[in-house]
Amino acid sequence: MESNSGKRDQWGSKFGFIMAAAGSAIGLGNVWRFPYITGKYGGGALVVIYLLFVIFIGTSVMLAELSIGRKARLDSVGSFKKLGGGAWPLVGWLGFFCAFVILSYYSVITGWTVAYMFKSLGGLMEQAAVSGGAADAFVAFVSDPVLTILCLMVVMASVVGVAYRGISGGIEKSCKVLMPALFVIILILIVRSVTLPGAEAGLRFYLLPDFSKVSAEGILAAVGQGFYSLSLGMGIMITYGSYLGSHEDMPKLTRTIVLLDTSVAFMAGLVIFPAVFAFGIDAGSGPGLTFVTLPAVFAQMPMGAIFSFAFFALLFIAAFTSCISLFEVVVTFAVDELHWNRAKSALAMGAAITLLGVPSALSVGGHIPQVFGKDFLDALDFITNNAIMPIGGIFVSIFVGWIWTKGALDEISNRGELKFKFYKAWLWICRLIAPVCITAVFITGLKW
């Protein structure tokens, strides 16, 4: 455990850091948004656009965030105070706020995945086997206030338990077990899915490039998804970077994280589309795809309960490791800025976030009034993802591109120890290309 007076905790190994950062990046978005956007906007053609974005822009912004955190060795607010001063800490505040709010509803959905793991083995398959049964089961579940709030509390208690044990003893230890498990599960599910009779139609829909479907809207969706998927713009990588050893090769680490995140997004599509097409069901996206369509698909497979359990376990791991990273932004803030010890920070912040999660949990079942025509959960999701995250990303890029440029270069090259080959490209991406692209996503995303 870490205390205020003691030495700052550090990741115990490169592998541990990579698993934690990839755990943050790999989340619900990889499973229910990437495949959907790809299928809808041009298959393989869109994958290429997505790849270009994450390789050039995503990697650059992630590198910027890691360097800020590692140099300052503080939370997101403290880092901007120390390196930028003036109004810059506001960017850190945005990150803190965003992480706090996102976690409050992300943990609600993570709770659903826990319930669905158990439901898979306990009768969900029988319900989902009849037409419309999976949808009825889902509505009945989200309308149950006791159960959904209980699931939220179980998830938040586990997140607090991990954070309480600190960086190397909590986050790193759990992610080192969970992330390899996620890879094994997804591989098993891919094999199951692509060997179903009729799977090729799904593969064709998912991957054959169809340039006629590529549109400006699709490109922006891909760019926004890339940004969201890498967990950028909200202080997560600043926070995780603040615990990173000074001799680690950040460009290399970043490449590995991006590669892992993209691979899992790509693989999720190999699970979903072949299965959905094999049974002639309309895929759709979001919670509807994962909690309604897929149970109906699993219900038609031999040993469907086992595969359904495995799928929700996969979703749980993806979501839970993202929750952990969101929570660490908040906990590190409390430790560094409020000078609370880790135990108090984890418990108090965990309780506050759980409380904020309650209206989200209730909103999906229609127990509380909507906010301007959206469920409370969707409203929070909209504000954080479409407004705050992009603003955070734009300012992080501008900060390293124009203000703290020499400092960032120094940090990324480990004070001259490493050769940072792509310096020029990185610099102009942060100066111009990233702010322009993210602004475009931001403006188009503001439609309520």
Distance from C-alpha of 299 to C-alpha of 301, rounded to nearest angstrom: 6
Distance from C-alpha of 324 to C-alpha of 197, rounded to nearest angstrom: 39
What string marks each residue from 50 to 89 as x (binds ligand PHE by CB under 6 A) or -?
----------------------------------------
Where does this chain touch ligand PHE (CB under 6 A) — which range of 12-20, 144-152, 213-221, 228-236?
A: 228-236
Q: What's the maximum distance between 2 C-alpha atoms anywhere in the chain?
A: 64
Distance from C-alpha of 65 to C-alpha of 329, rounded to nearest angstrom: 13
Distances (CA, A) of 47 to 36, 191, 214: 11, 21, 11
- Comparing CB distances to ligand PHE, the nearer of 79 and 231 is 231
Where does this chain touch ligand PHE (CB under 6 A) — which range of 49-57, 129-137, 322-330, 375-383?
A: 322-330
Q: How far is the CB of 182 from ligand PHE (least distance, A)?
A: 13
Distance from C-alpha of 20 to C-alpha of 78, rounded to nearest angstrom: 22
Q: How far is the CB of 106 from ligand PHE (least distance, A)?
A: 7
φ, ψ (nearest 5 deg) of residue 87:
-90, -5
228 binds ligand PHE (CB under 6 A): yes
How many residues belong to the site for ligand PHE (CB under 6 A)?
15
- Comparing CB distances to ligand PHE, the nearer of 174 and 325 is 325
- Comparing CB distances to ligand PHE, the nearer of 25 and 163 is 25
- Comparing CB distances to ligand PHE, the nearer of 265 and 364 is 265
**For residue 7, how far is the Cα from the chain centroid?**
29
Considering only residues 234 to 263 of the shown chain, the ones binding ligand PHE according to CB under 6 A are: 234, 236
DSSP 385-439: IIIIHHHHHHHHHHIIIIISHHHHHHHHTTTTTS--TTHHHHHHIIIIIHHHHHH
List 20, 28, 271, 330, residue binding ligand PHE (CB under 6 A)? 28
30 binds ligand PHE (CB under 6 A): yes
- Both tokens of residue 435? 């702010």
Angle between helices 44-53 and 216-229 (to 10 degrees): 50
What string marks each residue from 323 to 342 as x (binds ligand PHE by CB under 6 A) or -?
--xx----------------
320 binds ligand PHE (CB under 6 A): no
Q: How far is the CB of 109 from ligand PHE (least distance, A)?
A: 10
List 19, 25, 331, 441, residue binding ligand PHE (CB under 6 A)? 25
Q: How far is the CB of 114 from ligand PHE (least distance, A)?
A: 17
φ, ψ (nearest 5 deg) of residue 374:
-125, 150
Distance from C-alpha of 276 to C-alpha of 287, rounded to nearest angstrom: 15
Cβ atoms of 29 and 262 within 8 Å: the answer is: no
- Both tokens of residue 14? 């490169």
Where does this chain touch ligand PHE (CB under 6 A) — which range of 36-44, 68-76, 229-237, 306-314?
A: 229-237
List 16, 29, 235, 241, residue binding ligand PHE (CB under 6 A)? 29
- Tally of CB atoms within 10 A around 254: 25
- Both tokens of residue 153? 């509390």
Residues 6+ apart with CB under 8 A from 52: none
Distance from C-alpha of 14 to C-alpha of 36, rounded to nearest angstrom: 32
Q: How far is the CB of 356 from ligand PHE (least distance, A)?
A: 16
List 10, 79, 107, 231, residue binding ligand PHE (CB under 6 A)? 231
- How long a stretch of residues is the chain? 448
List 59, 110, 322, 332, residue binding ligand PHE (CB under 6 A)? 322
- Comparing CB distances to ligand PHE, the nearer of 124 and 171 is 171
Q: How far is the CB of 135 from ligand PHE (least distance, A)?
A: 24
- Both tokens of residue 140? 């009945």
Q: Shortest Cβ contact with ligand PHE: which residue?
A: 27
10 binds ligand PHE (CB under 6 A): no
- Comparing CB distances to ligand PHE, the nearer of 100 and 376 is 100
- Comparing CB distances to ligand PHE, the nearer of 326 and 362 is 326
Q: How far is the CB of 290 from ligand PHE (least distance, A)?
A: 12
Where does this chain touch ligand PHE (CB under 6 A) — which range of 63-71, 226-234, 304-312, 410-418?
A: 226-234
- Both tokens of residue 112? 């659903």
CA atoms within 13 A on the CB side of 293: 22
- Both tokens of residue 89? 């800490």
Where does this chain touch ligand PHE (CB under 6 A) — which range of 23-31, 71-79, 127-135, 294-302?
A: 23-31
Distance from C-alpha of 134 to C-alpha of 136, rounded to nearest angstrom: 5
Binding footprint of ligand PHE on the chain (CB under 6 A):
24-25, 27-30, 102, 228-229, 231, 234, 236, 322, 325-326
